[in-house]
Amino acid sequence: MQILLLGAGSTTSRLNMTLSEQGHSIAAQLASFTAQHLDLFDFQGVVAVAPEASVSSDSLLQAAERGKMIFVIAGEGDGLTAWAGATGVPTFAYPPSEVDTNKLFEEIRRAETGSRAADEQYRRAVVGSDIAARIQSGMNVRKIAVTSPKGGTGKTTIAVNLAVAFALSGITTYLVDADGNAGSLQYHLRLRKVKTTMMGLLRRELARRDVTTMDAIAAGATFLEAFTTMGDLPTLKVLPGLITDDLGDKALQNEEKVTEVIKGLYDASVASGGVIVVDVGINPAHVVHRAALQHAEGIAIIVKPEIPDLAETRRWIARMIRSMGDAVGREAAHEFIGSRVKLCYNQVVGTGFKTAHKMLQEALREDEINIDMSPNGIIPMVDAHMAVHAVNSDRRDDILIWRYKNEHPEELAAFANALIGFATHFVPTVQEGAARVGILPRNDKQKRGVFGKLFGR
């Protein structure tokens, strides 16, 4: 592991040598540490020798927000000891005995192998274990498909921002690109190196022949291993989708295997305690899209309040009902869609969406489609420069909701509030985590967990 070592005394110097002997790389040894150092060095872990370093819980908190693993060596009365104890950060006595040093090495090894999860540390240190527990118990809908009746509605933008919002709020979030017509999720997230893609996973599963009981038990773990974890946001795990060259692949002709993989991704993500957001293409008859929609607990339909979008929404719902009705009957299809669909108007200006929505309701009644299509999300138009920058910059954290958390530009305040409002239709308690990390304005009476009380946050 690449380690940033904090301290300037004899204990830190000895630790520098022993860490190197253990095969770790010391990115730097600093006497003091601030958030500005996060961009100066490449490292995965921070070892802070508190009595020999100038370091605050605030700066370590910001390191945890960026997915860095934190290890603290501190005396019994040191302020960092209380902070580390309240947030679950591994803490060791100062000066460390041989036993303490070996325990430190073991914790670092666990972090390297993934046994000590970075997402769990993020949850405890950044969100607070109290809020994290309440969010975990308040997940009404964990399997979320985000789709649209036509291109250009901002479907992928909403899917990405929704997933990032969940992840920033402390929820382990799995984001899947399941657009069978070739998706763009990897561009939004600036993904260059990934473990595998949706097509790679489909090909791997198609190559498997006889599936034993033990294979079935292990399948959940293999599905989770396909995801690439975002190092700068450890609660976000991503599976990129198909590219144009994949569209004629024979793996897509095997509907049974496609359905098995999509269902496996949903089930494994939820079994791990997380939420899964699946970006689905615009054709509900496509084999990948049909499987993704069929196994979702909540379906977010993203539309713009414009006549072409409303006409396509009307046709999309009719196609969806026909596609499902052939298998389960029209009445069951109505019930399925009515209980799962969450309608989200995107790029809204003023209150004009009301007239558009009334037209949609009337059109559905004409088609004898008895579904209550109340708007669940109303996302305002975002400043054009910020919207373009969110996709075209070289920084992943320029994604709109992420940028709002970091910088709080006034131009994104309405967007952030509306997005979190839409997210509550799936996880009602997400508002607590969002307020805790700064995506929503925080009430002064709210506390930042135990360590918030200790350190006045």
Across the chain, mean pLDDT equals: 84
Q: Is residue 389 part of a domain?
A: yes
Q: Is residue 158 part of a domain?
A: yes
145 plus 216 within the same structural domain: yes
68 plus 38 within the same structural domain: yes
User: Model-level pTM?
Assistant: 0.82
pLDDT category at 417 given cuts 50, 70, 90 is: very high
Q: Which of 116, 150, 178 is the last residue of a domain?
A: 116
Q: Is residue 457 part of a domain?
A: no
Structure token digits, residue 304: 């713009």
Residue 100 sits in which domain range? 2-116
178 plus 224 within the same structural domain: yes
pLDDT score at 453: 36
Task: List pLDDT tens digits, range 218-274.
Answer: 556 788 889 999 988 999 999 998 766 666 677 677 888 888 899 999 999 998 888
Task: List pLDDT tens digits, range 74-112.
Answer: 988 788 888 888 888 899 999 999 999 999 999 998 888
196 plus 111 within the same structural domain: no
Task: List pLDDT tens digits, range 12-66.
Answer: 999 999 999 999 999 999 999 988 888 889 999 999 999 999 999 989 988 988 8
40 plus 158 within the same structural domain: no
Query: Is the pLDDT score of 214 beyond 50?
Result: no
204 plus 257 within the same structural domain: yes
Asked if 156 contacts 283 with a C-beta cutoff of 8 angstroms, the reply is no
b/e map of 15-54 (b: 16 or more CB within 10 Å)? bbeebeeeebebbebbeebeeebbeeeebbbbbbbbbbbe
Percentages (nearest 5) of helix, strand, coil residues in the chain: 55, 15, 30
CATH of the domain at 47: 3.40.50.720
Highest average pLDDT, of 92-96, 286-290, 353-357, comes from 92-96
Q: Is residue 124 part of a domain?
A: no
Number of domains composing the chain:
2
H/E stretch holding 237: strand 233-239
20 plus 54 within the same structural domain: yes
248 plus 342 within the same structural domain: yes
CATH of the domain at 223: 3.40.50.300
